[in-house]
Amino acid sequence: MVDRTEKDGVPAPPWRRSRKPALPRRQLNQELIIEAGLRILDAEGLDALNMRRVAQELDTGPASLYAHVAGKDELLELIYDRVLGEIRLPERDASRWKEQLRAYAMEVHRVLSAHADVARAALANIPTGENSVRAGEFVFGLLIETGMAPREASLVMDRLSLYLVGDAYEGSLHYARMRAAGMSDRREYFESFVGQIAGYYRALPSERFPHVSKYVDDLIADDGEERFRYGLELLLDGVEARMPRR
C-alpha cells in the first residue's frame, strides 16, 4: 500500500498519520546472537536467558538461531568468552610476576563483577574460547617464565581461576536474591542481609558458641571487596612460597 499524505490534490485527514518507513533489519549472525544474549544476561539474569528469549530480543523465531548457535549451552560459552575479551592484559614481565598476577586478578574481578551472572555459566566448564586461552596463556606463561615448573604452574592457574570465578558466582547469587526481592540498591540489600546474619549470631547461646556470639562485629566487619583482596593476597603469598629460590 502506498502511504501518501495527499492524493490528487486532496490533503489527507489530520488523524491519518504517515507511517514511518521500516528500518532495515540487520542480517542475523552469531555476533548479533551473542550481543543479545549478553544484554539479557546483564539485565535479567541467567535464569531469563534461553533461545526463545534471545529470538524475541532479535525479533525473529527461535529456529533461526540454530543455524548459528547449537543451543543455550554453546551460547553461554560464547557469551563467557566474549566477556573475557574485556580483560586488559599487559606484556608479561617475570621480574614483576606477583604484581602482574595481582593486577590480572583484579582485572578479572572487575570484568566478572560487571557481568555478575556470567560466572554461573563458567564454573562447570573448561573455557576453550580464544579469549579464555589468551588469559590462560598470560598466567601460565608468567609463572613458567618466573621459574615455576609447568605442572605446578597449571595447578596455580586452576586454583586462581576457581577463586576468581567462585567469588563472582557468590556475587551472582546475591544479585538473583536482589531481583527476587524486587530490590535494586546493592547497599540496601547487603545491609539488610548482613544485619539478619548479625542478629542471628548474637542470638546464639554463648555457652555453646562463645566465639561466634562474642565477636559478631569482627565477623561482619569487612565487605565483599575487602574479603576478595584478602583472599587474593593469601593465594599470592602461597604461590610466592612455592616459587623456586634463585
Q: In this structure, is the dihedral angle defined by the CA atoms of residues 11, 12, 17 and 21, taken in order, positive or negative?
A: negative
Q: What is the pLDDT of residues 177-224, one digit of tens each?
A: 887 888 878 888 888 999 999 999 999 999 999 999 999 999 999 999
Q: For the purposes of burial, counting CB atoms within 10 Å of the CB of 103, is it exposed (0-12), middle (13-18) or buried (19 or more)?
A: middle
pTM: 0.83
b/e burial code for range 118-147 (CB count within 10 A of at least 16 → b): bbbbbeeeebebebbeebbebbbebbbebe
Alpha helices in the chain (DSSP H): 30-44, 51-57, 62-65, 72-84, 97-114, 118-122, 130-146, 150-180, 186-202, 210-214, 216-219, 224-242
Residues 123 and 210 in one domain: yes
Tally of structural domains, the chain: 2
Residues 191 and 147 in one domain: yes
Residues 97 and 37 in one domain: no
Residues 97 and 200 in one domain: yes
CATH no. for residue 172? 1.10.357.10
Residues 41 and 101 in one domain: no
Q: What is the pLDDT of residues 220-238, one digit of tens each?
A: 999 999 999 999 999 999 9
Domain range for 95 is 89-242
CATH no. for residue 49? 1.10.10.60
